[in-house]
A = this chain, B = another copy of it.
Amino acid sequence: MNKVTNQNRWLLAGGLSLLAITGLVSAQDAPTAASATAAAAEATFTVNNLWLLISAFLVFIMHLGFSTLESGLTQKKNCVNILFKNVFIISTGVLTYYIWGFNAHYPGASPFSVEDGGTVDWNGIFALGSMAAPGEGDQTSAYGDYTYWTDFIFQAMFAATAATIVSGAVAERIKLGKFMIFALLLVGIAYPLAGSWHWGTGILAKFGFYDFAGSTVVHAFGGFAALACCILLGARKGKYTESGIKPILGHSMPLAAIGVFLLWFGWYGFNGGSVLNADPAAVSLVFVTTTLSACSGAVAAMIVSKVVLKKPDLSMALNGILAGLVGITAGPDVIPPTLSILVGAISGVIVVFSILFFDKIKIDDPVGAISVHGICGIWGTLAVALFGGGAATIVGQLVGIVMVCAFAFVFSFVVFLILKIVGGVRVSEEEEAEGLDVAEHGAPAYGVS
């Protein structure tokens, strides 16, 4: 083997694998331009598909980010409850998306679709069944850059995000069972429906609505669902008193920081994967705008918190990062890097004042989810019209924002109101005081010994 040069081995190994893949010619035949073209196309397909799969596991780890962020910013006595909810959300979110959401998500396939007035896409459902074995026909998706299953797993990881946003806002006082029912309905029905307006050839496309990776259809959607729930749920006991607002401290800032850094990490898949292939120019630009916006969001929130709160506030800095990430998510592919710094900076300013505002009107959101995802999601969607170079119009963006946020709010308000009427959505004062870990799960998060 030592006699063979490396170069020849490249050709040998390469040629063999090429032949193995294309199966066009036997080992005897000489390669042709056609076989070479097919081999090159297959290599491109493979790297595009691989990037989507990598993006899928990056978006997956965001669920750990949400878990640690939400548990870190809340009290020790409710930590198990939050972790349990997050495990429930990712698990049931993917399963419901498999059974139902994936078919419902795309116009023409959606039983709720405005397009086709609600006929179930049996082909789609059949496809799921027929997709059992690898190598089958319809494993290359409509997009041509990745397989059917890659499309599914990337989208499924997104799906559960909306419910996760809500779980932070309603933390420390919601009944576990009621939250589970609400999360299932939100992820299983409302999210795919709103998504179906946007993605593919959805109705919002007709208005020129542009939302690259989901500032509105994912984040603002989740933020306004959370707002509806927080209004109906009420504030945690002892937060708003005659003597003013009593901040309820989170129990672990390291957990919160781990959460934000993991969310930032995962966002490279959330935004970068939304390019839907590995195009070097597009993906690298998205990485840069996403990073710059996160950084300027943090710096802006640090400065504003120092000026307004008279101290450099870590939780505001962390929310500033998330604000910048949510803000750029609608247009990381069309907003120039220098302007993405502006988008993030404005997000970082907005999030601090928004959090203070919701506290002033006594809407209790322990982690600031409504401000980070809801308000900054709206800002980011508008920013595309302002800085995106004609990719979208203010009117088109507003139409999408209003439709999606109003729907998320109304759907959540109605469903959560029904759940409230039927047995209540809030734990008892005793359970809230004791903490949900012992009350709902019979075990504390931290052992004593």
With A44-B43, A83-B254 already in contact, the answer to whether A38 and B15 are too (CB < 8 A) is yes
Binary interface encoding of chain A residues 318-352 relative to chain B, with 1 for a CB under 8 A from any of its CBs, else 0: 10010000000000011011110100000000000
B-contacting residues, A303-324, CB 8 Å: 311-315, 317-318, 321
- By the criterion CB–CB under 8 Å, are B21 and A10 in contact? yes
In whole angstroms, what is the CA distance A15 to B50 when docked?
A: 19
Copies of the chain in the assembly:
3
Q: Which residue on B lies nearest to A9, using beta carbons? A: B140
Instruction: State the majority secondary structure of interface residues on A.
Output: helix
In whole angstroms, what is the CA distance A443 to B339 when docked?
A: 34
Interface centre among A21, A145, A156, A311 (most CB of B within 10 A): A21
5 example contacts (A-B, Cβ-Cβ < 8 A) are as follows: A1-B138, A18-B40, A33-B36, A60-B265, A249-B448
Q: Which of B41, B71, B315 contacts A254 (CB 8 A)?
A: B71
How many chain A residues have a CB neighbour from B under 8 Å? Answer: 154
With A15-B38, A38-B10, A44-B14 already in contact, the answer to whether A83 and B257 are too (CB < 8 A) is yes
With A33-B30, A44-B17 already in contact, the answer to whether A150 and B446 are too (CB < 8 A) is no
In whole angstroms, what is the CA distance A168 to B284 when docked?
A: 31
- By the criterion CB–CB under 8 Å, are B137 and A6 in contact? yes
- By the criterion CB–CB under 8 Å, are A296 and B46 in contact? no
With A95-B295, A134-B333 already in contact, the answer to whether A280 and B33 are too (CB < 8 A) is no
In whole angstroms, what is the CA distance A254 to B46 when docked?
A: 37
Q: Which of B1, B91, B287 contacts A298 (CB 8 A)?
A: B91
| Chain B residues positioned under 8 Å from A40 (CB to CB) | 14, 18, 36, 39-40, 42-43
Is the C-beta of A176 less than 8 angstroms from some C-beta in chain B? yes
In whole angstroms, what is the CA distance A134 to B253 when docked?
A: 38
